[in-house]
Amino acid sequence: MEFSTEQEAIDFYEAYARSQGFAIRKDDVKYNDENEIVSRRLLCNKAGKSERKNKKNEDRHRPTMRTGCLARLRVAYDIIRKIWKVTMFQPFHNHDLTPANFVHLIPNYRKLSEADKQVVNGLHSQGVRTCHILGFLMDQKGGHEDLGFIKKDLYNYTDHQGRVRIEDGDTFATLSYFQGKADGDSNFFSEFTFTDDGRLENIFWADSTSKLDYECFGDVVAFDTTYKKNRYGKPLVIFSGYNHHGETTIFACALICDETAETYKWVLNMFSKAMYNKYPKAVVTDADKAMREAIRVVFPNSKHRICSWHLHKNACAHIKDKKFLEEFKTLMYSTYTPEKFESEWQRVVETYGVSKEKWILKTYKLKQMWASAYMRDHFVCGVRTTSICEGVNSFIKKYVQNKNSLVDFLHNFERALKDYRHNELVSDFKSFYYQPVLTTSLPGFELGASKIFTSKKFKDVKKAIEKVGALSVTERTVDGNNVIFRVNVYRNKDAVFWVHLDKVQNKFLCDCRRFERRGLPCSHIISVMKYEDMDAFPESLICKRWTKTAKKDHISSFASKDVNNEEKMVMFRRGALVAAFNRLCEVSCMSANDYKEALEGINSLCDKMNKRREGNINGNNKANKPVAGAPRNVKAKVLARIDVDKEEGAEEENKDEDSIAEHVSVSHKMNGKKHSLSVPNGIKRKREDDKNGVPHDIGYDASRTIKHESQSTGWNHGVGYVGNYFPMYSGIPNFGGSIFPQFPSTGILPSHSNNTTALHYGTHS
């Protein structure tokens, strides 16, 4: 039997082995003086036996599969004909061959294809659990048998991938990750601290998009440290806020070693440095004392608001009176004047007899940090709790797990960040693409607001417009350039609001302070605009952070460097190909003929691409040319062969292959009957070297016969070695004319084979 290349012979023997129920492995090779392979031996993977020292290991739980099997094949390069031919074949095994229903479980035939690996990596990156990935792949391929691997193989692969990412240590991988981010983003900022013994202590980072978002929407920042879902239990600090749609946006992140005031000061200083010393107008946190101290020192001019949810939770823990708790909630959220708040506070604590409680006294001292009455003139963007951070934490849980290494955590967090940014893109599209239906009695104001504000903020303005119908201006007083309006609420004599209008600057000021607190015009101001017969919102009532063009003036200065990233290009190509194949599946799976045509086309294209790829890899292409030229003084070199000197049966393994009888005596069983095939008696080959040192056959000596016991397979045979060719079966049906059942005698396989020191990255100074 002949082959054009060594690899073709290996593929053929492997396919034969799989059809018979065993697996192969490569054994020794022989080289010529040019270091070119001229001979290759392939063994049954059960050849040899386990080392004795392993058998003495009492803790060894892994069973052995070695049985000292002598089945093998050798191919050699014919320099004259420039082909590879079989020079030795031993088909007999000393073990039962694996039944067909078990063959796919043999380790040699179990592996994840490159396509499988890409699917696994892609699903893992989106937080899909390994067990669910296994189920998905089984559905795609039609069950366990067609999967190509088992559950353990998949888990081993995912575990290996995780270890590869941190091969040089989690810290090194983390630093490399940030260096890569800095290389692709000129505005990326990161900084670290290390302990005295060189361990990574604190990490802070912000990319160009986050810095752009802070430039546009960093007037109010919320942050907390409740999220600790990583292998090291490090608290994750997330700086977040609201974008122009009122949706969550993330400004920066940090992983810290502890929650002390000193650590928080470091984090806030890094935040200030990354954002070019631009301080937020307001900061919302929980009631943590260390946070308060750090904010007081680093952000002295920022309004610090304590999370209302955390405060109410503490109130429930200290005061059990439900009626008091309802009153306390009203005191937190109502936009009283400071004087009104003080009188209401005294009434409530005296009514419920809690004025002497330690928690009440302590909380009252912090009133300017939680009572809305003391924040009427401060822009807080509607943020009263750190629930914005809690929402981020809940969202991140979809992507990260406790067992994640640090670098895995960073990769998964980045994917969660991309989802948030995509949400903003979708909201931008909706704001520009769709036009609202005008439903109020003031369509001029409504239309004007729809063109200015984002769709979600327009809804808030629309609600204020709708409330104008219940309001009436009952008094108008002119004081120079200032006009004062009294606005009454329908059938509510106690609800009176005073609106001031500066005619020169065209500015409004309302008692409710909604515009000052939230940046949106209130219904009282809109009712005055109606009374004054205005037809549009003045510039003074348009808070740019809520408009459709909120980021327009900042994008160019924060544009990150466009890097030609080959990895991204591969990802894009893969996505496009997957989409194309999905379309092909839809049109070809419903018809058997279409399915066959599509499959043949794919296999043909894959073969073509593989050959082209091999040609590119090999340069002058040793794979597609004969491996050897004119060999001289052939020298044997052993590559990854069995150390037979340490194996049982080594002497039997090392018998000269030339001494194996070159006689064929074939016997097999078919349909319960035994068939025999007679071939010339045992032939012993005589050899001599040609002038180039290559051994070749010069004659045969009929001297002995070798007989073999039939093996318990679907069909059993016994074949000895005959010269330089395989014997042909005669008179035996259904064997395709070759010693290998189901394979053509030419050796051509079917085309459908399945096979505290600080470091920082970035250009920021």
Question: Tens of pLDDT along 706-719?
Answer: 333 333 333 333 33
CB 228 within 8 Å of CB 236: yes
Binning pLDDT at 50, 70 and 90, where does residue 368 land?
very high
Binning pLDDT at 50, 70 and 90, where does residue 58 land?
low
For residue 612, the model assigns a pLDDT of 86
The mean pLDDT value for 720-730 works out to 33
For residue 168, the model assigns a pLDDT of 45
CB 50 within 8 Å of CB 66: yes
Binning pLDDT at 50, 70 and 90, where does residue 751 land?
very low
User: Which amino acid is present at 431?
Assistant: S
For residue 395, the model assigns a pLDDT of 63
The mean pLDDT value for 40-44 works out to 94
Lowest mean pLDDT among 4-8, 41-45, 52-56, 341-345: 52-56
Q: Where do we find the tokens 């009436």?
A: 472
Give the whole-angstrom CA distance, residue 623 versus residue 615: 8
For residue 390, the model assigns a pLDDT of 60
Q: Which CATH class is domain 170-307+385-404?
A: alpha beta
pLDDT tops 70 at residue 147: yes
pLDDT tops 50 at residue 518: yes
For residue 578, the model assigns a pLDDT of 78
pLDDT tops 60 at residue 335: yes
In sequence order, what are the residues at sequence separation of 6 or more whose Cβ sits closer than 8 angstroms to the Cβ of residue 48?
66, 68, 642, 644, 647, 649, 650, 653
For the CA atoms of 102, 104, 109, 111, the dihedral, rounded to the nearest 10 degrees, stands at -130
Structure tokens, 438: 């005008």
Domain limits of the chain? 2-106+628-658, 109-165, 170-307+385-404, 308-383, 455-546, 571-618
Question: Tens of pLDDT along 406-435?
Answer: 777 888 788 888 888 999 999 999 999 999
What 3-state DSSP class applies to 72? strand
The mean pLDDT value for 553-582 works out to 66
Question: Whole-number mean pLDDT of the chain?
Answer: 77
For residue 627, the model assigns a pLDDT of 39
Burial class (CB in 10 A: 0-12, 13-18, 19+), 280: buried
The mean pLDDT value for 258-279 works out to 94
pLDDT tops 70 at residue 96: yes
The mean pLDDT value for 516-521 works out to 94
Q: The whole model's pTM is what?
A: 0.62
The mean pLDDT value for 623-627 works out to 40
Half-sphere exposure of 752 (CA within 13 A, CB side): 7
CB 332 within 8 Å of CB 308: yes
Give the whole-angstrom CA distance, residue 49 versus residue 69: 9
For residue 164, the model assigns a pLDDT of 53
For residue 93, the model assigns a pLDDT of 94
For residue 550, the model assigns a pLDDT of 93
For residue 108, the model assigns a pLDDT of 85
For residue 720, the model assigns a pLDDT of 34
